[in-house]
Structure 1
């Protein structure tokens, strides 16, 4: 029985060590916004309430750790575009930060301005479990500046006000956003 219990604890012990090692190596630096390019550079950045936000670090689950690098998916059949990025590591005070940002757009067939609505177009920001901010209808805009389905590149800019899901009187502001990704 003791051997069986030890076998069950071993993965948890190694996960704890993995997290500790990973996050000690990823102290969050001071960021600058990436240039607004259209070459498939796989970059994202924006100003979130007066601080620059970039994809950085790794996110760990029970099973593995993955890079927080920006990822994008575009399907030509539904003209659906999804972008996801994360930021995790330790800030200057040593506090652990774990944040996620995503954009979801549907009916994207060309360059142009796409405003947020309640169903098909939105931005989302999360800075912990049960802490999600969503764009409200008409309060956010995403501008697609390049949509190249041959080279698989989508680039654009974005900004908006995102409301806290649990209390819509709380909000954050996203400004000067830009992304340039090579999608799959």
Structure 2
């Protein structure tokens, strides 16, 4: 007599790997955003404005802003933001996420209204994989490090976005 048995801890077929829980990296204007925040999936949800993207021309200068918001288990508002200040973005280009200043790209981590910025030591990168001004679609990938208000290193990895933006 032969007996075969197997044990599968994941009977519900839902993805358990953190990266697989993020939205796919697309370039169609799907209005998706996600990253791993300290190894855990960060996907904007709930609230009045969980996801917002702009690429505006103001006084002859371009400003890009993409922000995702969600509440954590303690109901604190968490946000991840990518922005440029008086800097045009281009398809196929990679931008260093450093301190917030004219001509720079910056990564921002927010916790309950307190904002923490990339700088010359805690940096990252944002790569624009698609930019179409006619259809108003911007897609890309990103990662960055931040030191929060308690001195903790926050690691944002595997970031991706595929957004329709307002001008």
TM-score range, shorter chain: 0.7 to 0.9
Structure 1 vs Structure 2 CA RMSD? 2.0
Q: Which structure has more helix as a fraction of its residues?
A: 1
Using the alignment, how far apart are the partners of 1:97 and 1:182 within structure 2? Answer: 27
* Larger displacement relative to structure 2 (46-55 or 137-146): 137-146
Q: Which runs of 5+ in 2 are unaligned?
A: 1-15
Is this contact kept in 2: 1:136–1:161, CA < 8 A?
A: no
1:81-100 alignment runs, 5 A limit: 81-88=64-71, 91=73, 95-100=74-79
TM-score, with length taken from structure 2: 0.75
Give the distance between the partners of 1:162 and 1:107, measured in 2 at CA: 24
Q: Deviations over 1:65-121 (max 9, x none)?
A: x131x21111254232111121026x3xxx323212211122214431000232221
Aligned partners of 1:133 and 1:171 also within 8 Å: no
Partner SS for 1:137: coil
CA distance in 1: counterparts of 2:75 and 2:135, whole angstroms? 37
- Stretches of structure 1 that go unaligned for 5 or more consecutive residues are 1-29, 59-65
1:180 corresponds, among 148, 152, 162, to: 162
Correspondent of 1:102 among 81, 84, 87: 81
Alpha-carbon distance between aligned partners in 1 of 2:146 and 2:119, rounded to the nearest angstrom = 6
TM-score, with length taken from structure 1: 0.69
